[in-house]
Amino acid sequence: MRRKAKSSVSVPPLYNESPTVPDVDRICAQMDKLLSAFNSMSRQVFSRLEDVESRQMEMEHVLQSHARLGEEVKNAIEALKASTTEVLTRIPPATETPPALTYPYKLTKEQVDEIQLKETTATSFARKVERKLFEDEKDKNEKLEMRAAQDKVRWLRELVNYRYPSKNGVRDNTVWSACKKGINDYHTKQRKRVELVFADIPRAEERNFYPAQSSEHVSPSVSPENQDQEYLFTGSPTL
């Protein structure tokens, strides 16, 4: 029997031949490059991981702060609600429509409307109406609280509150207080001006009266029978 010949296995030249020195140097250089690139990528990955951990810690801190702040805000809102409810319970219920104002004195509604159109502020409006309303009163230059006709003062207050309601409603006297002060200050200044004018006028006891000259020095225009009635007046006042 014939023996079969063994088949020979061909080996690639790379494994059949030993690498030369230049090949080893080239392989080492490539390995160094790969290792350097791997180290660089590793450093970048670790740096990114550190950034992620830092961001995570920041987010945890922010969430904790927001949780505390949210609790504080919640408590503040609850306290504000309680305070608002308490304040609202103290405010009397406002009427839906204010009662109509009557005009019992000589000033008519049309005249008051005309005054309001001309005046720019509540104080000037109140002063103008006050002068018309009290022009026949003897104490028209006194302060409002000192006047006899207090019914007119009350009506003037209602008129101002009705025509110039404040933010708190027509029954709030904030605007009226300012108008009353303006009216009283005006009359106080007027009285001081009058006092200064009369202070400059000399009184009767300060005036100097002297008898006329004797008959030998009498002016020809004066008759002898009127000599006893003639006086020389000095220091005439300026009115």
3-state secondary structure of 235: coil
3-state secondary structure of 52: helix
pLDDT for 125? 92
Mind listing the pLDDT tens digit for each residue in 36-56? 888 888 888 888 888 888 888
| Distance of alpha carbon 191 from alpha carbon 195, whole angstroms | 6
Residue 135: pLDDT over 80 = yes
Residue 238: pLDDT over 50 = no
Mind listing the pLDDT tens digit for each residue in 189-208? 887 777 777 766 655 555 55
CA angle (124 as vertex; 118, 129 as ends), nearest 5: 80
| Distance of alpha carbon 216 from alpha carbon 143, whole angstroms | 61
Q: How far apart are the two ends of the chain, measured CA to CA in Å?
A: 172
Question: What amino acid is encoded at 109 in this protein?
Answer: K
pLDDT for 147? 84
| Distance of alpha carbon 156 from alpha carbon 129, whole angstroms | 8
